[in-house]
Chain A
Amino acid sequence: MTITDEKLMAYADGELNAAEAAEVERAMAEDEALALRVTLFAGSRKAVREAAMATPLAVPEALAEKVRALGAAHAAGRAAAEKAPDKIVDLSARRRPAGSWQLPLAASIALAIGAIGGWIVAHSSTTPAGLEIAALGDPAIVEALSTLPSGERQVLDNGNQFAAIASFEDGGGRFCREFEYDQVSGTTLVAVACHDQTHWDVRFAIAAPAATPGLYAPASSLETLDAYLSATGAGAPLSTADEAAALSALQ
């Protein structure tokens, strides 16, 4: 019976079970050459291990810092996800028709929430219409928000198009609607408005260059929207029936 180098090495490395080890030991007792071979495997391991331990292992502080920052960012994301585990929305299901927004990513988003200065302004609830954001001040939008079922698109008198995307409840239980407003000027607004007792509040709006007329907004703006929805604890899109009930309750 021959004992392979691999087996002798595995013996030296403590990788054999008791029966295999006993077999190697019996063979070594009979053949001194085998015992020497084991020494060779054990010695090479020891030499390499010692050389490694003797070599200082430095990690650039900048690298360690980057990794800590990555860890903190991920931890924050996980904490947010755990806070509202049932509020995670499958946003891909929100879009319809499927495929319509498989467009080249628009490189830029013209305006993003938090960076738009006075564009989203503190609204005044004294105005019945409630929508004061420049382009969204059209009463026809308020009308569409209150009546148009999600998935439908309506051309307004000024030629701009209103598309109702989805309805959902935000973390505070308000009835909210995600919609897009395609302007003849070529800019699409992706927005979320929530109904607050008497009026619609625009909670989020982002302007993106329209990708193709008649199609939904480019994906890059949707990523921003998704982040907003997650952050505000938006619930899953309402079913058609629930939405219809919520809309009729507004009337």
Chain B
Amino acid sequence: MPDTFTEDLVALLPNLRRFALSLCRRHDMADDLVQITAERAFAARDRFDPATRLDAWLFRILRNAWIDQTRRTKTQGTIVDIDDAPDAATVDGTKIAEDALMLGAAGAAMADLPEDQRAVMLLICVEELSYKDAAEALDIPVGTVMSRLARARLAVAEKLGIK
């Protein structure tokens, strides 16, 4: 059987990078996250179940790598739940210039979402993961995915004037 794991992973780099950008909103950090994700994926590839979606599995690795990074940068050493952590864009008190995750008004509306809502929105509405796959990628219950997603959807709909 030809080994397509590397090719499959490389093909998903744009999606990984988009997810990374949605989390940290900085290109340099996003690239680092993607590389760490790739390293971890190669090291753990025997644990990947080919019957499942590779992208969902990679998103989970990336999200965990992001949590590791945000924890590491906390100088106090206290672990802050990701839901309580301030957005990376304001983490050091200064507003970091946002890289365009998405163009247009919808992109702006996405950028205004809290990080946890933006993540479910991206995984489900852009990457088209199921609620279940998104829940596994983010390590949260499906019910939490749904409530975050519903809030995000209503907020975006309102900003865009969808009626």
Encoded as 1 (CB less than 8 Å from any A CB) or 0, chain B from 107 to 146 comes to: 1011000000000011011101011000000000001001
State the main secondary structure of chain A at its contact with B.
Answer: helix
A-chain residues with CB within 8 Å of residue B160 when the two chains form the complex: 43-44, 47
- Indicate if B156 sits at the interface (CB-CB under 8 A): yes
B149 and A74 form a contact (CB under 8 A): no
Q: Is A196 part of the contact surface with B, judged by Cβ < 8 Å?
A: no
Contact B156 A52 (CB under 8 A): no
- CB-based A-B contact count at 8 angstroms: 123
Whether a CB of chain B sits under 8 angstroms from the CB of A64 is yes
- B88 touches A (CB below 8 Å): no
Q: Is B29 an interface residue (CB 8 A)?
A: no
Using a Cβ–Cβ cut-off of 8 Å, how many residues does chain A contribute to the interface with B?
A: 35
Complex alpha-carbon distance, A60 and B31, angstroms: 8
Q: Which of B3, B17, B149 contacts A59, CB < 8 Å?
A: B17
A44 close to B131 (CB less than 8 A): no
Cα(A36)–Cα(B31), bound, Å = 41
One of B49-57, B67-75, B95-103 at the interface: B95-103
Q: Quick check: is A245 within 8 A (CB to CB) of the other chain?
A: no
Interface range on chain B: under 10, 10 to 19, 20 to 34, or 35 or more?
35 or more
A170 to chain B, nearest CB (A): 27
Instruction: Assess whether A57 is in contact with B15, with CB atoms less than 8 Å apart.
Output: yes
Question: Quick check: A71 and B131 within 8 Å, CB to CB?
Answer: no
Asked if A66 and B106 make an inter-chain contact with CB atoms under 8 angstroms apart, the answer reads no
A105 at the interface (CB under 8 A from B): no
Interchain CA distance A49-B156 in the complex, whole Å: 12
A13-B125 Cα distance, complex, nearest whole Å: 9
> Is residue A211 contacting chain B, with contact meaning CB distance below 8 A?
no
Contact with A along B147-163 (1 / 0, CB 8 A): 10110111011001011
User: Is A54 among interface residues, defined by CB-CB distance under 8 A?
Assistant: yes
Q: Which residues of A contact B48 (CB under 8 A)?
A: none
Tell me whether B89 is interfacial, beta carbon within 8 Å: no
- Chain A CB within 8 A of B86 CB: no
A109 to chain B, nearest CB (A): 24
* 8 A Cβ contacts from A50-75 to B: 50-52, 54-55, 57-60, 63-64, 66-68, 70-72, 74-75
In the assembled complex, the Cα of A39 lies from the Cα of B160 at a distance in Å of 13
Find B10's partner among A9, A43, A58, A71 (CB 8 Å cutoff): A71
Across the interface, which residues of B come within 8 angstroms of A50, CB to CB?
Answer: 106
Interchain CB contact under 8 A, A44 and B153: yes
Contact between A63 and B31 (Cβ–Cβ < 8 Å)? Answer: yes
Apart from A54-B102, A63-B34, A74-B6: 4 A-B pairs, beta carbons within 8 A: A15-B130, A36-B163, A39-B163, A71-B10
Q: Which residues of B contact A (CB under 8 A)?
A: 3, 5-6, 9-10, 13-15, 17-18, 31, 34-35, 38-39, 42-43, 45, 100-107, 109-110, 121-122, 124-126, 128, 130-131, 143, 146-147, 149-150, 152-154, 156-157, 160, 162-163
Of the A-B pairs whose beta carbons lie under 8 Å apart in the complex, a sample of 21, sorted by A's number, is: A5-B150, A6-B143, A6-B146, A9-B146, A13-B124, A36-B163, A43-B157, A45-B124, A47-B160, A51-B104, A51-B106, A54-B103, A54-B104, A55-B107, A59-B13, A59-B17, A59-B34, A67-B10, A68-B6, A71-B5, A75-B3
Question: 8 shortest A-B CB distances, which residue pairs?
Answer: A71-B6, A51-B106, A57-B14, A43-B162, A44-B157, A52-B126, A74-B42, A51-B102
